[in-house]
Amino acid sequence: MIHIIILRIRMFLSKKIMLLLFVVFPLLFSFIALNYLKADDFEIKTTIGVVDSDQTDFSENVIERLRSDSSLMVFAFDENSGQEALIKEDIIGLYIIKEGFSQAIKTGKTQRIIEVRYLADNYTAPGITDLITPHFLMDILKEQTMLTVNKAVFTDNPELGEKFRELFLEYTVMYEDSEDLELQVILNSIDSDAEKPIFSTSKEIIIRYFLSVILIFLIITGFYQAIQVNVDKEHGIISRIKLSQCPYYQYVLGNILGIAMIVFIISVLQMLLLKNMLFYHLDFAKVILGLAIYALSISLLSVAIMAVLKKGSDFQTAIPYLMIAIWIFGGWIYSETVINTGMLQYLGRIPGMMIKDDLINQFTNVGQNIRRENIMMEIGFQFVLFCLIYLKGKSGYNKNVN
């Protein structure tokens, strides 16, 4: 069996085009993408809706400030149309400024003055609170400062209190416009046991997509190697193996493990790059375990599909086109973050998909574990797939060939 495993790895290493396509290119892609992701000015726009029920200069001022935020794309709605836009997923969240918002803040009552609505199954949406809070927190702080100063110093002189208010607002507005007030988020990892997100919502979406593309690359690598197994059959090599002392189960297992090893080694190289460039918090032990299971699932899935297809070499020419298509569309589907349709739920039962989310969460959250039930399900499906491959191949192996 070990000879078959070594053969698969040797075959992979012997083709420069394979190394370029499945090792160098993905690593280069990761390197460029990580540099882009690392850049402080990197941000994509998060689309939110705003309902101004307060209709005051004060609330308008907050909305203007939201609009000036380069990371947000802000649309004004009334409550009903905002709700519809939310359901249609035109916006990721609806930010409602309640009636009496300005009055409440001016009087120091800051409870229940805003409401953020989002779809229950969109787990990234609550993160928009982080994006919008700083914009009205400024007003709350200003008003609170004025209230406290007026109460403490100008209780007996309301005219002086009003003068102070004008001067304070004038200078704070000037200060708001200054570049010194720019909000900077440092994205370095933090040691923590808590399950908390590390990145902003918008950044997390891009990261999940990026990681999905890497995982898809690994799938394609597995499939391409499985095609090579079919090519063995077409070139008569299988006849030699049939006549050798190599039992059939060893041939099958050797191929499966060989492909899994290739996928695993490439994925580890990727992880080393990711950890050293951006995801400093990665727990390598957990990731390695997840990747090993993922690689084996991908290998079994690839070999199983190729066992059904008669002529593997026919699919070789399709691979470059398939890669481009998957690059463009697959990543978005696989990441599940952007497109979330009912049909895709079935994909969750395909080997590899059960552990995929846990793997991605290792990158975006701190303290996440790879769930045991997912590991067990993956192993269960792997066993079923192996039985299918073995039985399907065994009957063909015993069949007479002309």
Partner 1 sequence: MLIEMSHINKKYKKTMVLSDLNIQIEQGSISGIVGPNSVGKTTLLNIMSGLVMPDSGEVFFEDRPAADFKSLIGYVPQEIALYQDLSVKDNFRFFSGVYGLNKEKAKERMAYIYDIMALKDLHRIKIKNLSGGMKRRINIGVELLKDPKVLIMDESTVGIDMGARTDILDLVKKLNSEEMTVIFTSHHMSELESICTDLYFLKDGSVVLEGKKQVILGKDGEKRTLEHLYNEIYRVSE
Which window, 8-16, 127-135, 198-206, 281-289, contacts partner 1 (CB under 8 A)?
A: 8-16
Query: Of the two residues 111 and 245, which places its CB atom closer to partner 1 in the complex?
Result: 245
Given candidates 45, 109, 242, 394, which one binds partner 1 under the rule CB under 8 A?
242
Q: Does 80 bind partner 1 (CB under 8 A)?
A: no
Answer for which of 3, 67, 98, 392 binds partner 1 (CB under 8 A) is 3
11 touches partner 1 (CB under 8 A): yes
**CA-CA distances (angstroms) from residue 190 to 9, 141, 197, 272?**
38, 28, 10, 19
Select from 120, 152, 243, 308 the one that contacts partner 1 (CB under 8 A): 243
Q: Is 20 in the site for partner 1 (CB under 8 A)?
A: no
State which of residues 9, 246, 292, 305 lies at the interface with partner 1 (CB under 8 A).
246
Distances (CA, A) of 147 to 152, 205, 290, 342: 8, 41, 55, 52
SS3 31: helix
Distances, alpha carbon 248 to alpha carbons 138, 231, 256, 379, in Å: 71, 17, 12, 22
Rg (CA), the chain: 28
Q: Six-digit token pair at 226?
A: 């499985």
The region of 6-14, 70-78, 188-196, 309-317 touching partner 1 under the rule CB under 8 A is 6-14
| Other CB atoms within 10 A of residue 56 CB | 16
Helix/strand/coil for 244 = coil
E strand segments, 210-330: none
Region near partner 1 per CB under 8 A, out of 127-135, 196-204, 236-244, 342-350: 236-244
Among 73, 138, 241, 379, binds partner 1 (CB under 8 A): 241
Query: Contact 66/98 with Cβ under 8 angstroms?
Result: no
Q: Does 4 bind partner 1 (CB under 8 A)?
A: yes
Task: Provide the token pair at 353.
Answer: 């998909």
Shorter beta-carbon distance to partner 1: residue 242 or 394:
242
Cβ-based nearer residue to partner 1, 1 or 277: 1
Which of 35, 148, 239, 369 forms a contact with partner 1 (CB under 8 A)? 239
Contact 294, 355 (CB under 8 A): yes
- Give the pair of three-digit tokens for residue 183: 């909000």
Closest to partner 1 by CB, 7 vs 140, is 7
236 binds partner 1 (CB under 8 A): yes
CA-based nearest residue to 136, from 77, 168, 96: 96
Identify any residues that bridge with 48 across adjacent strands, giving them in sequence order: 74, 93
| Binding residue count for partner 1, defined by CB under 8 A | 23
Q: For the segment 136-195, give every residue that binds partner 1 (CB under 8 A).
A: none
User: With b meaning 16 or more CB within 10 Å and e meaning fewer, what string describes 116-155?
Assistant: ebbeeebebbebbeebbeebbebbbebbeebeeebeeebe
Q: Show the site string, 260-299: x = touches partner 1 by CB under 8 A, - = not.
A: ----------------------------------------
Q: Which stretch binds partner 1 (CB under 8 A): 40-48, 281-289, 294-302, 394-402?
A: 394-402
The nearest distance, CB 219 to partner 1, in angstroms, is 22
- Given a contact cutoff of 8 angstroms between Cβ atoms, the answer to whether 270 and 26 are in contact is yes
The correct pick among 160, 181, 237, 391 for binding partner 1 (CB under 8 A) is 237
Strand, coil or helix: 359 = helix
List residues near partner 1 by CB under 8 A. 2-4, 6-7, 10-11, 14-15, 235-237, 239-246, 400-402
